[in-house]
Structure 1
Amino acid sequence: MALGAALFFAVEHMVLKKGPVHQANENGTEVAETLAKLEKAQELIKKSYVGEVDEAKLMDGAIQGMVASLGDPYSVYMDRETSKQFEQSLDSSFSGIGAEVSKEGEDFIIVDRFKGSPAEQSGLKPNDKIKSIDGESIQSLTLYEVTAKIRGPKGSKVVIGVERGDASKNLDITVTRDEIPVETVHSKRFKLEDSQIGYLEITTFAKGTAEDLKTELTKLESEGIDGLILDVRGNPGGLLSSVHEVLDQFVTNKKPFMYIEERNGDREPLSSVLEEKKEYPVATLIDGGSASAAEILAAGMQEVEGYPLIGEKTFGKGTVQQSYDLGDGSQMKLTMSKWLTPNKKWIHKEGILPTLEVSQPAVFDLVPLQSAVVLKKGMNDEKISVLQNILNGLGYEVDRTDGYFSGSTEKALLAFQKAAGLKENGEANTATLAELDKAIQTYKENPKHDHQLQSAIEFLGENE
């Protein structure tokens, strides 16, 4: 997992500012005393510590400690190597599992996953708390040490232990690392009776997102559309400059699409350059994985133009970060301000409510089941509860979901094995679990099962 998976999705200014390690303070004496204290501690460690001391690591640790003391998961220090990884993550692809990880308090949290990434396919979910990596506790590690452990060459595997909700046991999820392409815009058209509805999915707001979206939108409009869906579900954010350029294509300049509020309370409005809105209606799909820049887009679409938001409440990240080059290849990303919606609301930790709330089928919350042992009738295990929920979600009715492998569970599994062309033995072996995983993915990829998408298509069909 590249560092971008941990940090890129904070709303950030694109310019990497250069700045000194130490900034001026009105009280020069106080600065001198602070630096003298730091130097004294450094010299004491170098001369007296029982082991060998790496001076570069000592300085990195000092800066990391200062930033960590802020208690802000989005303010971070990146050493030279980590900074390089971060910059690479802004390119067209990177190697990893495709997940965004943040530190909140003492917990390492999965904020979101790239669409179609190994993280998503393996069943990692937003709000999962990472407790171990390859069987080792990560309690004493920094965010960067955690991301370094998760990273690895394409094709290699990593076992991530997560705590999920109120589950009594942690889940061990095996993920196969892969090259993660950053293709941020995907387009389709849906036919609804006599209407053509355009669809643009924005997975992240990266450097080339606005230009790619413009290309795909021009293609859709040339083919003819009567309405448009913007899908930012699961979009964890990205560059402020990128979402600004995207909003320039949909939101007019009649009012700012956001405000940046500084520490002193000053507010800077940001507005689109667009003079006239689209001739066709537009709806935006959102969910709990829509965060940061995705929420800026959602708020602008709703509060400036009155375009509906369809789906579920967004994540709730209302801060802006800026990166500073510290001169030696390292950099510091610091939360510099808040951002407010066009109606001057701060949505941090609150999220944005949809205009039309629509939940997805239960199958969309199911995760692939991994088991080292064959699950069979008479067994009692938490993994069997997952199996039962999967079978029910796919339409193979089971009488219980408490983890006891009942006769009804066996019957449902036999029916699935028959439909999948597997050996019908009523046992959840490796082959059966793999086919169940494929069935879940196939179900999710069918647009007819996507209740939020279907609601948006119907809404636009009625309001064209």
Structure 2
Amino acid sequence: MKVVKMKAMDEQNVEQEQLEQEHETDKKSGYIQIKKFHFILILFFLVLLSTGITGFALSFGDEKVITVGTDRKEFDKLYTAYDTLKNEYFEELDQKKLINGAIDGMVKALDDPYTDYMSLEEAAQFHSSIDSSFQGIGAEIQEKDGHIMIVSPIKGSPAEKAGLKPNDIIAMVDGKSLQGMTSTEAVAIIRGKKGTKVELTIHRSGTDAPVVVPIIRDNIPIETVYGEMAGEGIAKVQITSFSKNTPKELTEKLNELQKQGMKGLVLDLRHNPGGLLDEAISISSLFVPKGKLILKVEDRNGKTKEYPSLNDGNPDFPLVVLIDKGSASASEILAGAVSESAGVKLVGETSFGKGTVQTAKDFPDKSNIKFTTAKWLTPNGNWIHKKGIKPDFEVPLPDYATLPMINPDKELKISSSSTEVEIAQKMLKAIGYDPGRVDGFFDEKTQEVVSSFQTANNLPADGVLKGESTIKLMEKIRELMETNDTQLQKAIEVLSEQMK
């Protein structure tokens, strides 16, 4: 395998129409050094996002808001509405609040979940994500059809440990409805200090009733690359997001695994909500021959700019990539690039489907607007937006992998009848404690198997599911999912055939 080293250069933000790409390769002792782009296009992320921010040449002074650009007739109605409210409303108005509301309304009129106006407080949270270090539950979310939907939980985060899944709908936070909120507004409510508790009311497709999920906020993991040998010369590497340090983390991990005898690689992009465009291109370049396309970016006028691989060779090991419905944006760029430009096989589920590019700009008062500037296409010119990328081998996970979580604070005992009891019965059956029924009624047989489960796990055998017993049951399901990962097993099978 050729050892690859990525070297970051200073990044500069320029206007979209001026974006130019510079490549520089320098072979030294088996290393390839790659200069980063002198621009940055931002793919939308609420949880893991690092970006440079430039400023709009706008003014928010008390007088300028009304007088600047008054010669533009399209703003006459806006100014009239503002002056009418300011002069005739029965109470004194907060001028800044009115202006912020006007901008927010203009942005919402676009009906684009990736375009958003952020107040000073919301923008501060946005900037806090730049270093990929913050406190919260650790889940990428987006607004869809008036609801707040989880794109993907982050590996090792409280959200993942609580059992949150892609496409889960967060209906309420601590009893407050999120209906009609933007994703930025929802993040401001969900995020909080380490050690504090938040309760999410979750709706999951295929279940009748919502489930309240208590989560203790924590520091969100900064590490984005995890890897290990899976036997027979096959390594598995998972990328959880595309942040500034991801190329360096990945090359270091590949070097480490190469020393351990790696002859083939399964690259796991499941539950990866994406990240920075230039990092996606840098990483894709490790697996796509030089000159082959990584992606195309198409602007509002239909003008397309192509971005070829930065590398000058192929890795000398076969590759298979895992994707699922939580693989979004930058993950899809990588999956599309290796599939169409390097013939790499994809295994898993159809990906999320985010095919647009965002940038963000600060106002002088440090509030912020993030907006869509272009759409990106795969090397073959496919726009995967709202469609996703279909894998070569479509493999579902076992049914128990999609079971909702259970609120540990809720007591499930003899004669209980609820959706939570049904979920618990299915979990018990999956790990080998068959309750005889999975219809949601907690009978004597269910009590018996709960007691057996508690005894086997050194818990008080009272036959009641609550607290530690519920948490342990969900832990066992997660462990079962890891040992019976049907998608990973298929990827290894496909890779083994290539290695023969």
Q: Taking structure 1 as the reference length, what is the TM-score of the superposition?
A: 0.90
Counterparts of 1:138 and 1:320, CA distance in 2:
26
Counterparts of 2:380 and 2:374, CA distance in 1:
17
Task: State whether structure 2 residue 75 is matched by structure 1 residue 38.
Answer: no
Task: State whether structure 2 residue 383 is matched by structure 1 residue 358.
Answer: no
Q: 1:117 aligned to 152, 157, 170, which one?
A: 157
Contact 1:258 1:300 in 2 (8 A): yes
Cα offset, 1:47, TM superposition:
2.6
Q: 1:229 aligned to 260, 263, 266, which one?
A: 266
SS for the counterpart of 1:436 is helix
Q: 1:277 aligned to 314, 335, 357, which one?
A: 314
SS for the counterpart of 2:273 is coil
SS for the counterpart of 2:220 is strand
Counterparts of 1:268 and 1:76, CA distance in 2:
25
Cα offset, 1:11, TM superposition:
11
Q: Which runs of 5+ in 1 are unaligned?
A: 1-5, 23-27
| RMSD of equivalent CA atoms | 2.4
Query: What are the equivalent positions in structure 2 for 1:206-355 lying under 5 Å apart?
Result: 206-355=243-392
- Amino acid aligned to 2:393: L
- Amino acid aligned to 1:184: T
Counterparts of 1:328 and 1:374, CA distance in 2:
49
Task: State whether structure 2 residue 194 is matched by structure 1 residue 157.
Answer: no
Counterparts of 1:187 and 1:208, CA distance in 2:
16
Q: 2:485 aligned to 431, 444, 450, which one?
A: 450
SS for the counterpart of 1:417 is helix
Deviations 1:238-284 (A, max 9, x none): 11011011112111134312111112211111111222211110111
Q: 1:146 aligned to 183, 186, 192, which one?
A: 186
Deviations 1:96-152 (A, max 9, x none): 111122112321212211112111222222222222221122335443332222122
Cα offset, 1:199, TM superposition:
2.2
Query: What are the equivalent positions in structure 2 for 1:56-75 lying under 5 Å apart?
Result: 56-75=96-115
- Amino acid aligned to 1:90: I
Instruction: Look up the match of 2:217.
Output: 177
Cα offset, 1:324, TM superposition:
2.2
Contact 2:46 2:141 in 1 (8 A): no
- The 1:67/1:296 distance shift into structure 2, 3 A limit, reads same
- The 1:379/1:188 distance shift into structure 2, 3 A limit, reads same
Counterparts of 2:429 and 2:74, CA distance in 1:
63
- The 1:146/1:450 distance shift into structure 2, 3 A limit, reads same
Q: Taking structure 2 as the reference length, what is the TM-score of the superposition?
A: 0.84
Contact 1:90 1:207 in 2 (8 A): no
- Amino acid aligned to 1:458: E
Task: State whether structure 2 residue 88 is matched by structure 1 residue 48.
Answer: yes
Instruction: Look up the match of 2:498.
Output: 463
- Amino acid aligned to 2:366: G
Counterparts of 1:268 and 1:12, CA distance in 2:
24
Instruction: Look up the match of 2:15.
Output: none
SS for the counterpart of 2:336 is helix
Equivalenced residue count is 449
**Worse-matched range after superposition: 60-69 or 42-51:** 42-51
Contact 2:46 2:187 in 1 (8 A): no
Cα offset, 1:406, TM superposition:
3.0
SS for the counterpart of 2:415 is coil
Counterparts of 2:294 and 2:425, CA distance in 1:
46
Task: State whether structure 2 residue 447 is matched by structure 1 residue 415.
Answer: no
Contact 2:135 2:193 in 1 (8 A): yes
Counterparts of 2:172 and 2:212, CA distance in 1:
9
Counterparts of 1:379 and 1:331, CA distance in 2:
50
Contact 1:260 1:338 in 2 (8 A): yes
Counterparts of 2:50 and 2:430, CA distance in 1:
43
Counterparts of 1:460 and 1:390, CA distance in 2:
31
- Amino acid aligned to 1:317: K
Cα offset, 1:73, TM superposition:
0.2
- Amino acid aligned to 2:391: P
- The 1:375/1:9 distance shift into structure 2, 3 A limit, reads closer
Instruction: Look up the match of 1:3.
Output: none
Contact 1:284 1:308 in 2 (8 A): yes
Counterparts of 1:139 and 1:9, CA distance in 2:
18
Contact 1:121 1:368 in 2 (8 A): no
Contact 2:227 2:235 in 1 (8 A): yes
Contact 1:185 1:200 in 2 (8 A): yes
**Worse-matched range after superposition: 30-39 or 430-439:** 30-39
**Worse-matched range after superposition: 394-403 or 133-142:** 133-142
Counterparts of 1:148 and 1:116, CA distance in 2:
21
Contact 1:369 1:433 in 2 (8 A): yes
Contact 2:298 2:376 in 1 (8 A): yes
**Worse-matched range after superposition: 31-40 or 236-245:** 31-40
The percent identity for this pair of structures is: 39
Cα offset, 1:40, TM superposition:
2.7
Cα offset, 1:384, TM superposition:
0.6
Cα offset, 1:318, TM superposition:
0.9
Deviations 1:76-103 (A, max 9, x none): 1122332222122121410111112211
**Worse-matched range after superposition: 198-207 or 142-151:** 142-151
SS for the counterpart of 1:160 is strand
Counterparts of 1:203 and 1:272, CA distance in 2:
22
Task: State whether structure 2 residue 121 is matched by structure 1 residue 84.
Answer: no
- Amino acid aligned to 1:240: L
Instruction: Look up the match of 2:63.
Output: none
Instruction: Look up the match of 1:400.
Output: 437
- The 1:130/1:13 distance shift into structure 2, 3 A limit, reads closer
Counterparts of 2:337 and 2:244, CA distance in 1:
20
Contact 2:204 2:404 in 1 (8 A): no
- The 1:344/1:141 distance shift into structure 2, 3 A limit, reads closer
Q: 2:471 aligned to 408, 430, 434, which one?
A: 434
SS for the counterpart of 1:257 is strand
Contact 1:363 1:390 in 2 (8 A): yes
Counterparts of 1:433 and 1:12, CA distance in 2:
34
Deviations 1:207-238 (A, max 9, x none): 11112112222222234311111111000111
SS for the counterpart of 1:224 is coil
Contact 2:211 2:406 in 1 (8 A): no
